[in-house]
Amino acid sequence: MISIAEERAEAVRLRARFVEEGAQNVDCAILQPAETLLDLYGEDIRARAYVTHDPARGEVMLRPDFTVPVVQMHMETRAAPARYTYCGEVFRRQEDDPDRASEYFQVGYELFADRSPAQADAEVFAIFADVLAPHGLRAVTGDIGILASAVQTLEISEPRRAALMRHIWRPRRFRALLDRYSGRTPPPNARKALLKAEDPLRDAGPMIGLRSEAEIAARIDALRADAAEGPLCRSQVELIDTVLSVRETCPFALEHLHDIAVDLPGLTPAVERFEARCDAMAARGVDVDALEFEASYGRTSMEYYDGFVFGFLQPGRPDLPPIATGGRYDALTERLGQGRAAPAVGGVIRPGLLLQMGGRA
């Protein structure tokens, strides 16, 4: 058993390493306003975070991570480039897995830089790789931006594209949408009946609630337009599948993606960004030739990352949570900044897991 004091000491040690790399040490309140986090992550976060009630402030949440408060703090000055480090406890409910820790330390490094994302991504990854080098972990990288730009280039209507983008972090729902658009799953019977009806709202009965008749009519129009749109070409779905299945070391992944971009030219800028990142990482001494890349990495568990993503895992233990995770979260900063983004990339280490691993080795 690792004591809290040991975990804290390790966290402080790691934070000192990040300070050596030029990061400014910051701290954040443990009690965070629940509304901000609920608006960002949706209702699901209630299952993963502790919500409590304050008589004056309403619902508050024990911080489930530092990212949101650090972004908010950065937004006050917006001085870029800026590098922050922090360490402290985060709190996670473990309803499905009560054996996992519900309170543990995180040590983070976050970089806000308006220019050259490739350089910023490479800097953050190289620092984590360096700090974690003594532990012999397996590093995996990915890039949500590649899937996103594949969706951007699909030949489909804007409402369909928006629906796919909205569910990019929910692989099952994303797949169900693709199956629907490509005609693989037929529309439910109720939908067919609705579309056939001349005046679907005639027998609707009394209108109750906030959603107005005009909103219902607008959705029916949208459904009619959707039904009139031809099916998404199977070959396009296959291109998405091919992109998602890319899983090899960076140089091979890059080659593979360049090949896919021949059929999907819209993908080229995203692939070039990947290439620039590989070059920047190599220049910082990262062994890019051996570094793993999975196009679907980080799709399920890291829902605010929208570009580069990475994780450091215990070799041979896929059942355990990653020791460190990180990535780029430009869209999150844009939402917190009410439309003004502050491009950022960062990550966290869990010192408790590092210590546990050391004990076993």
Partner 1 sequence: MTLKLGVPSKGRLMEKTFDWFGARGIALSRTGSDREYSGAVDGIEGVELVLLSAGEIPRELSAGRIHLGVTGTDLVREKLVQWEQKVEPLAELGFGHADLIIAVPAAWVDVTTLDDLDAVAAAFRDRHGFRLRIATKYHRLVREHLRRGGVSDYQLVDSQGATEGTVKNLTAEAIADITSTGETLRANHLKVLDEEPVLRSQATLFRSRKAPMAGTDRDALRELEEMLGV
CA neighbor of 63 nearest in space, from 26, 108, 29, 93: 29
C-alpha span between 207 and 210 (Å, rounded): 9
| Nearest distance, CB of residue 42 and partner 1, angstroms | 5
Residue 206 or 316 with smaller CB distance to partner 1 = 206
Structure tokens at 352: 């408790």
Residues making contact with partner 1 (CB under 8 A): 38-39, 42-44, 46-47, 95-96, 98, 163, 166-167, 170, 172-173, 176, 188, 190-191, 194, 200-201, 204-211, 213, 215-216, 218-220, 223
Task: Identify whether the C-beta of residue 309 lies closer than 8 Å to the C-beta of residue 143.
Answer: yes
Is 299 labeled as ligand-binding?
yes
Is 106 labeled as ligand-binding?
yes
> Could you give the dihedral angle defined by the CA atoms of residues 273, 79, 32 and 22, in that order, rounded to the nearest 10 degrees?
80
| Nearest distance, CB of residue 349 and partner 1, angstroms | 28
Is 110 labeled as ligand-binding?
yes
C-alpha span between 142 and 120 (Å, rounded): 15
Residue 222 or 283 with smaller CB distance to partner 1 = 222
| Nearest distance, CB of residue 18 and partner 1, angstroms | 34
Residue 206 or 318 with smaller CB distance to partner 1 = 206
- 74 Cβ contact partners less than 8 Å away, ≥ 6 residues apart: 82, 84, 110, 112, 342, 344
Query: What is the 8-class DSSP label of residue 87?
Result: E
Is 328 labeled as ligand-binding?
no
C-alpha span between 86 and 121 (Å, rounded): 19
Is 112 labeled as ligand-binding?
no
Task: Identify whether the C-beta of residue 332 lies closer than 8 Å to the C-beta of residue 75.
Answer: no
| Nearest distance, CB of residue 32 and partner 1, angstroms | 17
| Nearest distance, CB of residue 91 and partner 1, angstroms | 16
| Nearest distance, CB of residue 201 and partner 1, angstroms | 6
Is 114 labeled as ligand-binding?
no
Helix (H, G, I), strand (E, B) or coil at 314: coil
Helix (H, G, I), strand (E, B) or coil at 16: helix
Residue 32 or 106 with smaller CB distance to partner 1 = 32
Residue 56 or 208 with smaller CB distance to partner 1 = 208
- 175 Cβ contact partners less than 8 Å away, ≥ 6 residues apart: none
Alpha helices in 182-233 (DSSP H): 189-196, 213-228
| Nearest distance, CB of residue 58 and partner 1, angstroms | 13
Residue 55 or 209 with smaller CB distance to partner 1 = 209
Is 65 labeled as ligand-binding?
yes
Task: Identify whether the C-beta of residue 53 lies closer than 8 Å to the C-beta of residue 60.
Answer: yes
Task: Identify whether the C-beta of residue 102 lies closer than 8 Å to the C-beta of residue 258.
Answer: no
Residue 54 or 213 with smaller CB distance to partner 1 = 213
CA neighbor of 40 nearest in space, from 343, 336, 339: 336
Task: Write out the E strands in 96-242.
Answer: 103-112, 138-143
Question: Binding-site residues, please?
Answer: 65-67, 92, 106, 110, 299, 304-305
Question: Binding-site residues for L-histidine, please?
Answer: 65-67, 92, 106, 110, 299, 304-305
